[in-house]
Amino acid sequence: MNRLFVNKLILGLSTLSAVIGIGFLFWILITLSYKGITSIHWSTFTNDLVEGGIRNLLVGQFTMAILASFLAVPLGMMAGIYLREYGHGSKLASVIRNLSDVMMSAPSIVIGVFVFALLVDPFGGYNGWAGIVALAIMMIPIIISTTDNMLALVPKELREAGIALGGSKHKIILQIVIKAAKVGITTGILLSFARIIGETAPLLFTSANNQFFTMDLNGQFPSLTVSIYNLATYPDEASRELAWAASFILTMIVLCINLIGRFVIRNKK
Amino acid sequence: MAESIVMDVRDFSFTYPGVEKPSLKKINLPIKENKITAMIGPSGCGKSTLLRAMNRIHDLYPGNTYEGEINLYKANGEKENILKIKKENDFIRLRQEVGMIFQKPTPFPMSIFDNVAYGLRLAGIKNKTELQDRVETALKGAAIWNETKDRLNESALGMSGGQQRRLCIARAVALKPRVLLFDEPTSALDPISTGAIEELIAEIKDEVSVVIVTHNMQQASRLSDYTAFMYLGELIEYDDTEKIFLNPGEKLTEDYITGRFG
């Protein structure tokens, strides 16, 4: 009797917790959708921030995130390959692996401050490059860890079979092992991209923001997330509406990238 | 007629990194040309370790200690101690001469054709017609040409377990190695697929010399010409298969093959 009661109690409590968690999520999504959709107009996409739109912000955010990926993906993947394929149990590899895990949970504002000291202060002002580097620093540990973990799933027999056919180690890694881990690594890259596309803190005092359309990375660079942060604090109704619209669009973008990631996993496995 | 020897293991000892005692102690074993040599023995006796030393797959992981000699006799009669190999190119050449088939099927994540062509391309064959010819010959040799000829461009990962094993054999045979090492090629296979693989091994021995590690004593007795019995890192007895199974010289061998231990 007592056992059944405890069982019901635990079941009830965990269901309640789940409902509360999901409840908040839906609350956020519903508010966001309601306020966001009603604030979106055609001009939101065609105008720049100075005219009450987010065109330059979207372009700026994607430019920085994509360029950051160009920096972070090769570096992260090569580091991951080193950890799994070459470091193999060495002290250095385990130190790097641990540091990279610590980096993954580093507060993003700290990364922002670091890049400020490195690339903003000495160069006399906010610039797009600094934003790109800050985003790349956020991305690298995620990609290192996914690459490392996905390569670990590739059976060692596959490497041995390649070696046994006369392949050299680097050829086996590039032509067989990476291919076998392709789906997992691609998904990891997509998810890390989704992560950085919504980041504000690393951009806040690196690339800052720009009201106008620009592709000049040497100056302040437009960004959606920093704009949301700014717009939300403005007193006028129009700015706050634009902040809702931008938040909704950003959420949809992140959601889409995540869904694509899951879709890739499901279809390739 | 004296049978010629293709590989010759002499006073060979092997120690894994970080272990005090050698896993193989002073092994002496000849591998005869175009014959099947079986290695039997209980788990952990070192038979796979010995097999993996014969094309130095161990070197994928650093820190192993080799002592003694393993000689590979070339077609022209020259011999080479494969334990002396240090250069990458020589390793590649060794593995093209001494191929290996693993316990688990290991198709590469690419098409059936590319799987078989992989080793050939590594060997430097670029000519398309030559590649096609040799892939076809290899697949025929491994008795899966009929099943695969219409789907050469499909992924090898979609094949059944038995087909994947035969694909791996085709892949190794394609390089025309002088010796093929099989590490329990039929473990966890049903009797029909096992029969197919055994038949295949018996057929390819006209072309290559075969060394096979097996837990299955019936398999060793029906398939091999020579049998080596290993126990605790030592070679206890090596002789004609018939002799080992009918009239073993050592008490230990007799106990093992009659199932008294192991």
CA-nearest residue to B170 within chain A is A165
Residue B20 contacts residue B58 (beta carbons within 8 Å):
no
How large a percentage of chain A has pLDDT more than 70? 99
- Interchain pair A164, B104: CB under 8 A: no
Q: Which of A155, A161, A180 sits opposite B168 (nearest CB)?
A: A161
Residue B39's SS3 state is strand
Taking contacts as CB-CB distances below 8 angstroms, the residues of chain B near A164 are 55, 57, 95, 99-100, 102, 172
Contact A160 B61 (CB under 8 A): no
pLDDT of residue B262: 60
pLDDT attached to residue A87: 87
* B190 Cβ neighbours under 8 A, 6+ residues apart: B162
CA angle A50-A51-A53, nearest 5°? 95
Looking at residue A179, what is its pLDDT?
92
In this predicted structure, what is the pLDDT of residue B24?
A: 93
Mind telling me how many Å the CA of A173 is from chain B's nearest CA?
Answer: 12
What's the confidence (pLDDT) of residue A70?
A: 97
Q: Rounded distance, CA A64 to CA B57, Å?
A: 45
Sites in chain B below the pLDDT cut of 70: 1-2, 262
* pLDDT for the residue A269: 53
Chain A hits for B61, CB-CB cut-off 8 Å, are 88
A150: nearest Cα among A259, A77, A68: A77
**Which class in CATH covers the domain with range A40-268?**
mainly alpha
Residue of B48, B82, B100, B106 to mutate, interface with A, max A Cβ within 10 Å: B106
Locate the domains of chain A by residue range.
Answer: 40-268
Q: Write the pLDDT tens digit of every residue in A180-207.
A: 999 999 999 999 999 999 999 999 989 9
pLDDT tens digits, one per residue of A105-132: 999 999 999 999 999 999 989 999 999 9
Cα A187 to Cα A65: distance, rounded to the nearest angstrom: 16
Mark yes or no for CB contact B168/A155 under 8 Å: no
More confident site: B190 or A99: A99
Contact B95 A163 (CB under 8 A): yes
Q: List pLDDT tens digits, range B100-130.
A: 998 888 999 999 999 999 999 998 888 999 9
Task: Flag whether the ipTM exceeds 0.90.
Answer: no
Predicted confidence (pLDDT) per residue in A45-82, tens digit: 999 999 999 999 999 999 999 999 999 999 999 999 99
Assign A264 a pLDDT band (cuts: 50, 70, 90).
Answer: confident
Sole residue written with tokens 């080596």: B228
Stated pTM of the model: 0.84
- Pair of tokens at residue A49: 């921030």
Contact call for residues A202 and A216 (beta carbons, < 8 A): no
Compute CA distances B30 → B10, B40, B209, whole Å: 8, 15, 12
B90 to chain A: nearest residue by CA?
A166
**Which 3 state secondary structure label does DSSP give B180?**
strand
Domains of chain B: 5-257 (3.40.50.300)
The answer to whether B59 and B140 have CB atoms below 8 angstroms apart is no
A213-256 tens-digit pLDDT: 999 999 999 999 999 999 999 999 999 999 999 999 999 999 99
Say whether A22 sits in a helix, a strand or coil: helix
The closest of A1, A11, A142 to A73, measured between CA atoms, is A142
Residue from B86, B193, B203, B196 nearest B141 by CA: B203
